[in-house]
Structure 1
Amino acid sequence: MVQPGGISTGSVTDALIQHRRDIADLKQRIKNRRIQVFGLGATPIALILVLLTWVGVKVFIWLHGDTPTTINVTFAVTAAVLALATFLQFSVEFNERSPWRDSETSVRELKLELALAEERHILEARRHTPPPTDRQASYKERIPAEIARLRMESRHYRRLHLVMQWTLFVTSAAISAVTAWYDPEQPGKGILIGLGFTVTVITAASGYFKPRERAFNLQQTADSIEQHTTALELGISPYDATDEGESLTQYATVVEGLRADQRMREQQLDQPQQGQQQVI
């Protein structure tokens, strides 16, 4: 297929994919460079702090005596490791054959390069924007991955809820058992304190994070999207219109509405109880 202007669809797709790869590569380079810059700054500072601490320990604690060998060995080994790490990092940073891809390059420059790459991608996409029908068809092809993501998150929260509930059940029962077994003397008293602490933490975490509600909402959204996807593929109501473009438009509108409802429910779960009542 050739677009207006004599440019094939395949070449346009390859160009857009390459732009995405360049953007992803720049984002990873920025992450790597931040770690490198952090190491270049933090390692010598840590070395100085270790040396100052070593001197401070000697002056304020063992001024009139010998510092224990263990203390000296610990500080010496730590200082040696930090000194070696500092030397290696600076050697790699300022070496002409540095294995670091962006040595002697600031994070600001990489961010500027990323912004330019994103702008090029936007401009290229605008020049070759496909018609709405093609975009809607492409959107439909991405929905199965969205359904899988929702189901995976739903299973995660469901398992988290089950683990928290079973831990709560076991610890609650163990409190009664330990109380009946001990009177309560040690180690019974310590066990009771630990079990009571566990029950309190799990109860508070379950009420705050609400994993069961999150799992239910995610599963409900995934089922609804899957239902509409199946209806579209089979051409049944409400997607039994003769015009495929009209059906795709209606499908995209419904799915986006379901996703917006899911985000709204997540925001409501993140709010305090009083805030939820006001929203509802």
Structure 2
Amino acid sequence: MKVLVTGAQGQLARALKEYAASRLDLDLYAVGQPQLDLAETGGIEPLIHDLRPDVVINAAAYTAVDRAEREPEMAFRINAAAAGEVANGAASIGAPIIQISTDYVFDGTATAPYSEQAPTNPINIYGRSKLAGEDAVRAVNAQHLILRTSWIFSPFGHNFVKTMLRLAEDRDEVCVVADQFGCPTSADSLALAVGCVLDRWMGGASTGLGQTYHVAGTGACTWADLAEEVFGASAEAGGPSAKVIRITTEKFPTPAPRPRYSVLASGKFAAEFGVVLPSWQSLTRRVVTRLAAGQ
């Protein structure tokens, strides 16, 4: 199966490249800048027509949540308009698309995990642009599967886990928000979930087409909980560690408001694809151990 992935330097694309390298039946092409600049129109469809993939995975995104408040046009260009162009390009050759989305499409006022049927109501530009991207994909390609996930981390790029480890190198204490709840998810575990979708499709099934799913690490925690897990795992591996000072959201103001509760219910994906991601704790420790080993 030939698979085209956008956002080549992103966490998920890099995890997918590692995953595909171990499989002889997956021929994965990850594209990004400068080969493909989704800030500009007109680049994706010719690339799709030249490559003619069996599946397109749109993992590219404008993910700078706070900067998006200052650059809404760019956030909507990449997360919404470009997502629609990728989906349309896939549709033009009869290929399905997997669109990666986010827990930030919800407002965070729930008190129980969000199902796929829960009303969306994003409270920042990033969330609004990603929701607009979902709508754009649904509008132009009936063969879509939208995958919402949350709190992504990995050994690659910029993410919360790596930031905590960097801060611990020269600080004894780190202040971390303790009243926002979510589901930390490693990029490698998400890549495995995507691989299960591809397996179904390679087998001739159409499972998931036209559907939206939530896929996230099992369990929920606060950012402070996650930081403590990071530092515990790092200390065990001989890496940097720090004491977590728990603070409220009000003590750490940001340009973009965050949902206070964006826990995702992943039961629908588990029921239909037979995949449950490991606990957020085990996912965290696996990545921290890899980072400590310099991998």
TMscore range, shorter length = under 0.3
- Structure 1 or 2, whichever has the larger Rg, is 1
- TM-score, normalising length: structure 2: 0.22
Q: Which gives a bigger RCO, structure 1 or 2 (Cα 8 Å, sep 6+)?
A: 2
- TM-score, normalising length: structure 1: 0.23
